[in-house]
Structure 1
Amino acid sequence: MLELRAITAGYDRRAPVVRDAWLSVAAGESVGLLGPSGCGKSTLARIAALLHRPDSGTLLLDGETVRRWRHRAPRAQRTAVGVVFQQPRLSADPRLTLGDLIAEPLRATGNRDDIAERIGRLAATTGLTEDLLRRRPHEVSDGQLQRACLARALVLRPRWLICDEMTSMLDASTTAALVNVVEEYRAATGAGLIAVGHDATLLHRWCDRTVDWESLRGTAATAGPLGPEV
């Protein structure tokens, strides 16, 4: 289970953007996190992905408390979570080809076995041709680049996926294709999912349940199966 307990966080302790938020996701479950732009959804998603340390509260990953963040987190925890951001051009190194972008987590973790095979398999799964793998971000469309970013998120075979507004900049056909890739991966692996967005129709169709942002504050009861701490 992935559990966020009483999370308060932001970028200035005097003005947190997340206050006392509770959310839990069971293994294999897909949860939509619905809320307007600027409410703090992305900050909570970054905490769940071990990319932002909260000011207070607890993140538990598969029953273990997360105590270190970003590159300081234990490898087992870092690699357990795959994340796809809203704006692929801000999350992709413009110097890398799409093939190298997908391989980046493998090389960063020292896992160099079968790199070409994994990239080829994920490229086919996400709809990227061999020609596209040789191009750099400025040479492809937003949709093609987001396909590569999703492949990058899946390359370490994570147990948890965080999709932060993954499809908000994409057309309907690309959105459907990427959601289908995520669901096929989850069906094959049993991975849990937090899908962040402001499109209620998409989240209701995609996820097992959808949680409204306002319901996360101050109580665990409305945020999922996790009960209050005692």
Structure 2
Amino acid sequence: MLELTRVTVGYDPRDPVVREASLSIAPGESVGLLGPSGCGKSTLARVAALLHRPYAGAVVLDGEPVRGWRHAAPRAQRTAVGVVFQQPRLSADPRLTLRELIAQPLRATGRRAEVPDRVAALAPAVGLTAELLGRRPHEVSDGQLQRACLARALVLRPRWLICDEMTAMLDASTTAALVEVVETYRRESGAGLLAVGHDRVLLERWCDRTADWRTVCGAGGTAQESMSPTP
């Protein structure tokens, strides 16, 4: 399980962005976190991804409490979570080729020997050609760069995937393609998914259940969930 319990977090302790938020995801489950822009759902997603330390509350990952954040988190926990952000150009090093971008997590964890095989497997899965892999971010479209960022998130075979407005800047065909990549990975690996967004139709078609932001916070942090319709 990935469990967030009564999490309070923000960027100024005197004025938290999120108060008393609780959410849980089971292995293999896909959960949509629905809310308007600016409500704090991306900040909560960063807590779930072990990238932002909360002021209060608890995060439990696979039965183990999380006590370290970012590089201070134990490697086993840090590498268990893959993240795709909304704006690929802000999360990609402009100096790297797409091939190098995808391989970043492997190199950072001392697994350089796996780079050729993993990149070769993931590139076609996300729709990147060999020619595109040699380009840098400024030489590709937003959709192509987001494909590389998704491959980067999957390269360590995470047990949990956080997609924070992953498709917000993409056209309908690219959105459908990337959602299918995530779903294929989830089916094959049994990974859990937190998909953050403001598009109710997309989240309810994509996810097993959807938690509405208005009821994720406060009152004990119990989320109101709506089951996704049967296709």
User: Residue by residue, what CA displacement relative to the aligned partner does 1:39-93 show, whole Å, maximum 9, x if unpaired?
Assistant: 0000000000000000110000001000000011100000000000000000000
Percentage of pairs with the same residue: 74
Asked whether the 8 Å contact 1:35–1:198 carries over to 2, the reply is: yes
Residue 100 of structure 1 aligns with which residue? 100
2:3 corresponds in structure 1 to 3
How far apart, CA to CA, are the structure 1 residues paired with 2:47 and 2:15? 17
Instruction: Give matches, 1:10-159, under 5 Å.
Output: 10-159=10-159
Whether the 8 Å contact between 1:86 and 1:169 is mirrored in structure 2 is yes
Q: Give SS of 2:22's match.
A: strand
8 Å CA contact 2:106, 2:114 repeated in 1 = no
- Gapped regions of structure 1 (runs ≥ 5): 225-230
- 1:222 alignment partner in structure 2: 223
Report the residue type matching 1:155 in the other structure.
V
In the TM superposition, structure 1's runs of 4+ consecutive aligned residues that sit over 4 Å from their partners are none
Q: Deviations over 1:206-229 (max 9, x none)?
A: 0000010011112244367xxxxx
Check conservation: 1:53, 1:69, Cα contact below 8 A: yes
- The count of corresponding residues between Structure 1 and Structure 2 is 224
1: distance between equivalents of 2:28 and 2:113?
A: 27
1:137 positional shift: 0.0
- Kindly indicate whether the alpha-carbon contact (under 8 Å) linking 2:212 and 2:223 is maintained by their aligned counterparts in 1: no
| RMSD, aligned α-carbons | 0.9
Q: Check the 8 A contact 2:7/2:58 in 1, yes or no.
A: yes
Contact 1:24-1:223 at 8 Å conserved across structures: no
2:165 is aligned with 1:165? yes
Counterpart CA distance in 1 for 2:177 and 2:212 is 25
Structure 2 letter corresponding to 1:205: R
Query: TM-score when scaled to structure 2?
Result: 0.95
TM-score using structure 1 length = 0.96
In 1: Cα distance, 2:8 partner to 2:96 partner: 35
Give deviations 1:86-133, integer Å, cap 9, x for gaps: 000000000000000000000001112231111011001000000000
Residue 145 of structure 2 aligns with an amino acid whose one-letter code is L
Structure 1 contact 98–136 (Cα < 8 Å) conserved: yes
Relative to structure 1, the CA distance from residue 223 to residue 159 in structure 2 (aligned partners, 3 Å threshold; closer, same or farther) is farther
Q: Following the alignment from structure 1 to structure 2, what is the Cα–Cα distance between the partners of residues 213 and 140?
A: 34
Whether the aligned pair in 2 keeps the contact of 1:6 and 1:56 (CA below 8 Å) is yes
